[in-house]
Amino acid sequence: MRGVWGPQDQLVKEDSVEAVGEQLKVYHEQYQDKSREYDVLYEEYTRTSQELQMKRTAIEAFNETIKIFQEQCETQERYSKEYIDKFSREGNDKEIQRIQSNSEKLKSRVTEIHDSKRRLEQDLKEQATENRDIDKRMNSLKPDLMQLRKIREQYLVWLTQKGTRQRKINEWLGIKNEAEDLYSLMDEDEEETLSHHDELTWYVGNIKRGQAEELLRGKCDGTFLIRDSQSQKGSFACSVVVEGEVKHCVIYKTVTGLRLRGALQPTSARAELQLNGRTAQTTLSF
């Protein structure tokens, strides 16, 4: 059988819709497993990267603190000898002891700071190694993810070309969302008329956070818009009304798809969003 993507790619070897569908299910589950593994690593990599940056900043602060304390030690050392000689001539042992005690405390504090800095540098070194290892594991998963996604797409194209209903394909993919099932019952032309297919109903381009909040002010929970991210060039941001307040998150593109990061985090497998359309509001489930 001739593959739908040509001889250079993985071929659809099964010869019946049911067999292809079952194999699609296998590849889809493998892809999901790999995606979950990648997502766990991605979260860990992000966390350790942030901690590494914090530790580097802390080490810089230690360096500045050590510099200040060393200057204090040098100043105290210059004047201590002079005052100790003075109080020795006066027989004031109490003041001599006080000066010596203060000097020892200052030196002890400098030693403590040096020790803390060394421990932090060691932690930084170990965590940097861990971070690199996570990055390697993520990179090792990328070829499998891309290959599984390509194969899955081949099977989806094959099934679509054979006229397989979307509802049946959804069953193999494990999609049980009622809204998605509703869309699967629509003809292609009908589905194209839904407002979320027109980005003019939700994409507002390069506007600032404050402008997005003004556009969404007073809107129902779930009303959202997509705009260009101001903080992450090349990415997008989602602004959405949650419990009467406008929340924001950055939309990152990764090898496994789009990811949200920010004040808005998914709280369940289904999230209801209403399109901020010009003439109508349409509820989506994803």
Question: Is pLDDT above 50 for 276?
Answer: no
Which H, E and C letters describe the chain, residue by residue? CCCCCCCCCCCCCCCCHHHHHHHHHHHHHHHHHHHHHHHHHHHHHHHHHHHHHHHHHHHHHHHHHHHHHHHHHHHHHHHHHHHHHHHHHHCCHHHHHHHHHHHHHHHHHHHHHHHHHHHHHHHHHHHHHHHHHHHHHHHHHHHHHHHHHHHHHHHHHHHHHCCCCHHHHHHHHCCCCHHHHHHHCCCHHHHHCCHHHCHHHCEEECCCHHHHHHHHCCCCCCEEEEEECCCCCCCEEEEEEECCEEEEEEEEEECCEEEEEECCCCCCCCCEEEECCCCCCCEEEC
pLDDT at 12 over 80: no
Please tell me which residue, 81 or 181, carries the higher pLDDT value.
81
Higher pLDDT, 132 or 180: 132
Query: pLDDT tens digits for 224-235?
Result: 888 888 877 778
pLDDT at 283: 37
pLDDT tens digits, 203-219: 777 888 888 888 888 78
pLDDT value at 183 more than 60 = no
Give the model's pLDDT for residue 182: 42
> What pLDDT is attached to residue 29?
93
Largest CA distance in the chain: 107
Q: What is the pLDDT of residues 29-51, one digit of tens each?
A: 999 999 999 999 999 999 999 99
pLDDT class for 13, splitting at 50, 70, 90? confident
C-alpha to C-alpha distance for 263 and 141, rounded to whole angstroms:
29
Q: What is the pLDDT of residues 123-153, one digit of tens each?
A: 999 999 999 999 999 999 999 999 998 998 8
Confidence of residue 68 (pLDDT cuts 50, 70, 90): confident
pTM of the full predicted structure?
A: 0.52
Residue 229 burial (C-beta neighbours within 10 Å; 0-12, 13-18, 19+): buried
Once rounded to an integer, what is the mean pLDDT over residues 60-77? Answer: 84
Q: Quote the pLDDT of residue 107.
A: 82
**Mean pLDDT, rounded, for 244-260:** 71
